[in-house]
Structure 1
Amino acid sequence: MKPFFVQIKCALGKAYTVATAIADAEIASEIYSTAGGYDLLVKFYLSEGEDIGHFINEKLHTIPDIVDTYTIITFRAF
């Protein structure tokens, strides 16, 4: 399994709604609220060979009130 992270900017006042929708979809490993330019930091896992772009486009961008995302692809855990 390959981990990656996505920072999510939500519509004003919708961070908890978006976090709940992601949790209900059971697609994320961990969901954190954050301060700064993005509202949420979410950890996902995909099997080797699965396309991260398709996953984000089909599973994440379809959730209402997500305004912007920033994907962080990981290489190795220490």
Structure 2
Amino acid sequence: MVTAIVLINAATDSIPETAQAIADIDGVSEVYSCAGDVDLVAVLRVAGHERLAEVIPAQIGKVPGVLDTVTHIAFRSYSRADTETAFDIGLDDD
């Protein structure tokens, strides 16, 4: 499984429609509207890098209202549960 975070600049007047159209694409797990340097952040979870090539330029890039994308591919996931579990290694429950 490959996870990618796609930062999306969108036409201001169509952000809600653009976000929903992106959210409806197979492989897109979440889309967030944001304040700051980008308008939307999409989280993709797909089977492989080839699928990213199909989804990002061929589908997300062609959604009306999408002006530009920047993609970041995740290497590893960290969460509070992962961190807490790591500190429990070697401890007995006695």
The percentage of counterpart residues that share the same residue type is: 33
Unaligned runs of 5+ in 1: none
8 Å Cα contact 2:27-2:55 kept in structure 1: no
Runs of 4+ with >6 A deviation? none
Q: Please tell me whether Structure 1 or Structure 2 has the larger radius of gyration of its CA atoms.
A: 2
Per the alignment, in what secondary structure is the counterpart of residue 57 of structure 2? Answer: helix
1: CA distance, partners of 2:30 / 2:49: 21
**More deviation, 37-46/48-57:** 48-57
8 Å Cα contact 2:6-2:41 kept in structure 1: yes
Unaligned runs of 5+ in 2: 79-94
Q: Does the alignment pair 1:17 with 2:4?
A: no
Question: Structure 2-normalised TM-score?
Answer: 0.73
2: CA distance, partners of 1:77 / 1:60: 24
**Higher relative CO (CA 8 A, sep ≥ 6), structure 1 or 2?**
1
Question: Structure 1-normalised TM-score?
Answer: 0.86
What is the number of equivalent residue pairs in this alignment?
78
For residues 24-74 of structure 1, what are the alpha-carbon distances to aligned partners after superposition, in whole Å with 9 as ceiling and x for unaligned?
A: 334410111111121111100111352423321111111011001111111
Per the alignment, in what secondary structure is the counterpart of residue 50 of structure 1? Answer: helix
**What is the 5 A alignment of 1:3-14?**
3-14=3-14
